[in-house]
Chain A
Amino acid sequence: MFATIHVMASSRLPAAALTLKQFIQRQKVLSLYRNMMRTIRQVPDEGDRKYLRDWARDEFKRNKNSTNQDAIRMMITQANMHHDELQSSLALANVKK
């Protein structure tokens, strides 16, 4: 998703060392991705679920290579907003039943 850090860490280059901040940011991004996926799992319709999963995957992968820490932070915030939105829609949908 957001960190280049991401690409650096998964490459075979020896010790492309991440600074502590970068490392933490990368972990945040990965847990964000995981939480997003978990929330998407709760969507009732299979077609919607697939659409949302693909959308999330694309969003994350598209920005995978950015290096600017501020941009990354913005994107993390945006992702959190999307996640909260999804969760509240799910909650509303369940209440209706």
Chain B
Amino acid sequence: MASRVLAQCVRQLPRSSVRLSSGNIAVRTAAVPRTRWTEQTRISSSVGVFCRQYGDLPPLTIESIKERVMYVLKLYDKINPEKLATSSHFLKDLGLDSLDQVEIIMAMEDEFGFEIPDVEAEKLMSPQDIVQYIADKKDVYE
């Protein structure tokens, strides 16, 4: 059964590397032979040649950024989730103060895993600004 799975994987690998797909598929199909190595030692060397493996997060889209931003904002206790919209201004519409805005930006830093410098952080006054900024920083364009 292991040999059947391996044979399937080897058959799939050339197909997936020809498609200029992300590493995900190659990683998944390449991961299976790895678990079977203890049982099946005879593995064609071509397996290594065909696939390039790398680990990475799924690609960001504007939609996914917006969802994550809104999710983090809804979790923040000072924000009323009904009033929240992408264009709502933190200070003017949502009645927060600048300290809260600092906290919100820090929560975004935690969520997306990169630091936002002070100078740029103080300009981000609505969810739409944040989404736009992150998209700029992460080279997401649609």
Residues in A lying within 8 Å of B, measured CB to CB: 1, 6-7, 9-10, 12, 30-31, 33-34, 37-38, 41, 57, 60-61, 64
What is the count of residue pairs linking A and B with beta-carbon distances less than 8 angstroms? 34
Size bracket of the B interface: 10 to 19
When A and B form their complex, which 9 residue pairs have the shortest distance between CB atoms, in order from nearest? Answer: A10-B91, A10-B97, A34-B102, A37-B106, A33-B102, A31-B118, A60-B99, A10-B98, A33-B99
SS of B interface (majority)? helix
| A64 and B97 contact, CB distance less than 8 A | yes
Establish whether residues B92 and A57, one from each chain, have CB atoms under 8 Å apart when the complex forms.
no
At the interface, is chain A mostly helix, strand, loop or mixed? Answer: helix
In the complex, how many angstroms separate the beta carbon of B56 from the nearest chain A beta carbon?
Answer: 24
Q: How far is the CA of A41 from the CA of B106 in the complex (A)?
A: 10
B102 touches A37 (CB 8 A): yes
